[in-house]
């Protein structure tokens, strides 16, 4: 059944600070993917109708973290996909998708940490998706995400880390 549904078009952001560490946020409870209280992830979200992926990445980053002080480092050459676990197919995203296809962007954070506000993101206009955040070593990211997204994160790290550390 899962393969009959399309993938949700999405973007993701690997936001990297001056020390080469990546932003990760701890998901709040009750997201589309269930109770992920202890799951950490990078900012990501759906692409709006008519929106270019890079525009969507900047919008999602602002809506989830309040961050707008960034420079583009690079992007994944193609789309990275993951499938939802069977128990979430037909539930997450109103049952319309089997998983996500994501275009990922590596962005350098040029602001100060005080710009980051996950509790009142988007200038307080958006519902928080993260309850906490921190800077983390890029190679540690796949081990911090929910298991069904782990292979996608391994692919993103393999593709973007060389651009970030170059």
Cα–Cα distance for residue pair 142/91, rounded to 1 Å:
24
Give the pLDDT confidence of 82-112 residue by residue, as tens digits: 998 888 887 788 888 999 999 999 999 999 9
Residue 1 confidence class, pLDDT cut points 50, 70, 90: very low
Q: Supply the mean pLDDT for the chain.
A: 90
Contact 108, 70 (CB under 8 A): yes
Residue 57's Cβ-count burial label (10 Å; 0-12, 13-18, 19+) is buried
Number of domains forming the structure of the chain = 1
Across 8-21, average pLDDT:
97
Q: What is the pLDDT of residue 34?
A: 52
Quickly count: other Cβ atoms within 10 Å of residue 9's Cβ.
18
pLDDT(29) > 80: no
Predicted structure pTM score: 0.91
Lowest-pLDDT range of 32-36, 65-69, 70-74, 133-137: 32-36
CATH number at residue 110: 3.90.79.10
Distance between first and last Cα of the chain:
42
- Token pair listed for 153: 């994160």
**95 backbone dihedrals φ, ψ, rounded to 5°:** 75, 15
Q: What is the pLDDT of residue 38?
A: 52
Across 112-133, average pLDDT:
94
Query: Strand 70-75 relative to strand 99-109: parallel, antiparallel, unpaired?
Result: antiparallel
Supply the range of the domain harboring residue 145. Answer: 2-165
Across 38-57, average pLDDT:
93
Contact 23, 31 (CB under 8 A): no
Of 22, 18, 102, 119, the residue nearest 66 (C-alpha): 119
């Amino acid at each position: 059944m899962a393969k009959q549904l399309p993938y949700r078009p999405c973007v993701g952001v690997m936001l990297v600070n001056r020390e080469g560490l990546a932003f990760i946020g701890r998901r709040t409870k009750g997201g589309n993917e269930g109770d992920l209280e202890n799951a950490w992830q990078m900012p990501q979200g759906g692409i709006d109708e008519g929106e270019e992926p890079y525009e969507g990445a900047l919008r999602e980053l602002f809506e989830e973290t309040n961050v707008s002080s960034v420079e583009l480092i690079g992007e994944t050459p193609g789309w990275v996909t993951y499938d939802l676990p069977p128990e979430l197919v037909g539930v997450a995203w109103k049952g319309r998708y089997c998983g996500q296809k994501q275009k990922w962007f590596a962005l350098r954070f040029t602001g100060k940490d005080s710009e980051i506000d996950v509790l009142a993101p988007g200038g307080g206009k958006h519902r928080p998706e993260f309850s906490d955040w921190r800077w983390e070593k890029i190679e540690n990211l796949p081990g911090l995400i929910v298991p069904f997204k782990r292979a996608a994160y391994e692919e993103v790290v393999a593709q973007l880390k060389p651009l970030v550390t170059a």
